[in-house]
């Protein structure tokens, strides 16, 4: 019954014009990274409100949403999972973590990863073995690789940098622009916490990094220092 109500709310808030914009923005055309993804055309703040209003949904209903071809249904399910994870005790957190991993193939666009992986996978592995992230970093699946690096945002916030740097090394020669951006973003976040660590990491690698990755990682540096990195003049 609640699931039916949620889908009615999605239908009520759907916007065809916005959906067309999102279809283009999230590269849903043939051969693009989001090929086949379908949008209802609902902005994120509205989706967050719907998720709050239906935060009591059970796992069977969340599974139903994650199985949906509609992007917003999957994202709303993830918002609900994040909320549940933050409120649960240890046993419940473990259940949500495993549920997330089981459904990772459905977390198949960059916003779905970015808005959920750090808060569930990252948070759960903060003080646990992190080998699964290294496995995902070597995956052929684009979204598993993005989950690997984005999950480390939770570690960065706690001044734990080694996993981010090691996964960045694995992904240094990745061919996909979405990974270049993600790695550069996480390195930039690391630099906000400890710029010396970031510069130490970059010194041996920046000449071989994809340009986008480098630009993202040095975004907070002074203009003069950014120019030195981009010209290869850092010794």
Half-sphere CA count of 153, side-chain side, radius 13 A: 20
Distance CA(143)–CA(194), nearest Å, equals 27
How far is the CA of 57 from the CAs of 111, 166, 221, in angstroms? Answer: 22, 37, 44
Residue 47 has pLDDT above 80, yes or no: yes
One DSSP character per residue, 107-144 reads: --SHHHHHTTHIIIIIHHHTTS--HHHHHHHT-SSHHH
Distance CA(152)–CA(165), nearest Å, equals 9
| DSSP structure class, residue 208 | G
Provide the percentage of residues in the chain whose pLDDT is more than 70: 100
- Top pLDDT among 235 and 82 is at 82
Residue 70 has pLDDT above 80, yes or no: yes
Distance CA(31)–CA(12), nearest Å, equals 31
Q: Identify the band that residue 143 occupies on the pLDDT scale cut at 50, 70 and 90.
A: very high
Residue 67 has pLDDT above 90, yes or no: yes
pTM greater than the 0.85 cutoff: yes
**Is 134:102 a contact under the CB 8 Å cutoff?**
no
Residue 1 has pLDDT above 80, yes or no: no
**Residue from 134, 186, 199, 184 nearest 160 by CA:** 186
Core vs surface per residue 141-167: b (16+ CB within 10 A) or e: ebbbbbbbbbbbbbbbeeebbebbbeb
- Per-chain mean pLDDT for the chain: 96
């Amino acid at each position: 019954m609640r699931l039916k109500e949620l889908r009615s709310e999605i239908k009520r808030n759907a916007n065809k014009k916005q959906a067309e914009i999102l279809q283009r923005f999230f590269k849903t055309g043939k051969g693009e990274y989001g090929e086949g993804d379908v949008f209802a055309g609902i902005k994120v703040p509205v989706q967050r409100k719907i998720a709050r209003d239906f935060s009591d949904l059970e796992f069977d209903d969340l599974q139903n949403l994650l199985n949906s071809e509609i992007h917003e249904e999957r994202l709303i399910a993830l918002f609900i999972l994040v909320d549940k994870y933050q409120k649960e005790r240890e046993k419940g957190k473990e259940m949500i973590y495993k549920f997330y991993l089981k459904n990772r193939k459905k977390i198949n666009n960059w916003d779905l990863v970015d808005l959920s992986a750090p808060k569930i996978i990252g948070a759960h592995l903060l003080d646990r073995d992190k080998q699964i992230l290294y496995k995902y970093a070597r995956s052929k699946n684009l979204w598993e690789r993005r989950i690997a690096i984005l999950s480390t945002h939770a570690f960065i916030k706690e001044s734990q940098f080694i996993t981010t740097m090691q996964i960045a090394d694995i992904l240094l020669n990745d061919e996909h622009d979405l990974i270049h951006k993600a790695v550069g973003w996480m390195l930039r976040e690391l630099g906000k916490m400890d710029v010396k660590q970031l510069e130490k990491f970059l010194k041996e690698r920046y000449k071989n990094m994809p340009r986008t990755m480098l630009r993202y990682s040095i975004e907070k540096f002074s203009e003069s220092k950014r120019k030195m990195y981009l010209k290869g003049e850092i010794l």
